[in-house]
Amino acid sequence: MKTKFFILSVSALALITSIANAQLINPGFETWTNDILVPAAMNPNSGNDTYGWCDYNFFNSPLAGNSPITVTRCTDTVRTGNYSVRLESKVYTPTSWNIYKYWGIPFIGHEYNDTLGILFNGKLNVTNQTFIPGTACPQNLAQFKFYYQYRPNGNDTAECRVALMSGDSLVAGGAFKTSTATAGSGWQEAVIDFTYISGLTPDTLYVLFSSTSLDYSPRSGSVLWIDDASFVFPTGVEQILEEESNVTIFPNPSNGAFSIRNLQGNNNQQIIEIYNLLGEKVYYAFYKDKSMLDVDISSSSRGIYFVKFFDEGKINIERIVIQ
């Protein structure tokens, strides 16, 4: 039996409802069920159409294209308890992949590549091919943690991406990436700090693990073991106040080159920052006495980004799409 300790930021009485709704489901990967379409495969959840950890093992079914099984229950590489989860990146067949690759958009901002080994949270119904990304989390978080071992194929990269969402709006995000081979060297702890870009109250937590790169040159044969996931509540998260503005971005969507128009154009030093869905800052600039600014982030991956404006303590956030 695995035990998790959560660091609370205010009194337990005030947080009891939020914490009950925000706990991770099956954080130690001790619960496994047989796949409804592929009985030989096991998934780290309570069964089809339940919230928890999801995978694409059902692609192994002849009905879905006979893709390989990529997520397995592990008994010989375990940190605590009886099991951990093992991800191995493999090539999916086009029959299934052309249908389901778009399920990557909520997590990484674009379609999945055809080579991957992933585990993600949400509710998946394989009988009617529906998917609800993420699990309930009506509470700000400070960190997401887990333990891992990694055996990359060449210079491949394992990833974990997390995001707190309020509806379709990003509240906070973060990511962990490693190309270092650690298999055989014991378990390593990964700590992801949430970067907040909005003062909205979150309602959903997205978590995605991958044994191979999600953006560039994925490799078949990389293996990632994961155990003991958890998160930490903040001691206090400063709420960001978003002000109404007339700022516009054109074109939007774009290829990454666009203009920001209707800026304040005053003598104050103002700041623009751009974040991806992980909460990673990809661009920043200082300016004053300008009503328009040209920006080029075309070297960034396609997907959804958030433009954050600072002016005399006021903050505005706009959403952009790079295609």
Question: Nearest 5 degrees, angle CA 41-CA 47-CA 52?
Answer: 105
Is the pLDDT reported for residue 211 higher than 90? yes
Same domain, 192 and 167: yes
Same domain, 253 and 228: no
Residue 5 confidence (pLDDT): 30
Same domain, 198 and 111: yes
Same domain, 210 and 308: no
Tell me, yes or no, whether 182 lies in a domain.
Answer: yes
pLDDT in tens, 26-59: 999 999 999 888 888 899 999 989 999 999 888 7
pLDDT in tens, 137-176: 888 999 999 999 999 999 999 999 999 999 988 999 999 9
Residue 198 confidence (pLDDT): 87
Same domain, 21 and 162: yes
What CATH number should be reported for the domain holding residue 39? 2.60.120.890
Same domain, 197 and 260: no
SS3 content of the chain, % helix, strand, coil (to 5): 10, 40, 50
Residue 38 confidence (pLDDT): 85
Range(s) of the domain holding residue 315: 248-322
Same domain, 24 and 108: yes
Sign of the CA dihedral with 134 first, then 135, 136, and 138 last: negative
Three-state SS letters, 54-114:
ECCHHHHCHHHCCCCCCEEEECCCCCCCCCEEEEECEECCHHHHHHHHHHHHHHHCCCCCC
Number of structural domains (the chain) is 2
Tell me, yes or no, whether 50 lies in a domain.
Answer: yes
Same domain, 256 and 164: no
Same domain, 149 and 268: no
- Tell me which residue of 21, 30, 22, 24 sits closest to 1, measured CA to CA: 30
- Taking CA atoms, 97 is separated from 54, 125, 159, in Å, by 16, 17, 21
pLDDT in tens, 221-267: 999 999 999 988 876 433 333 444 678 899 988 999 999 887 776 66
Same domain, 93 and 201: yes
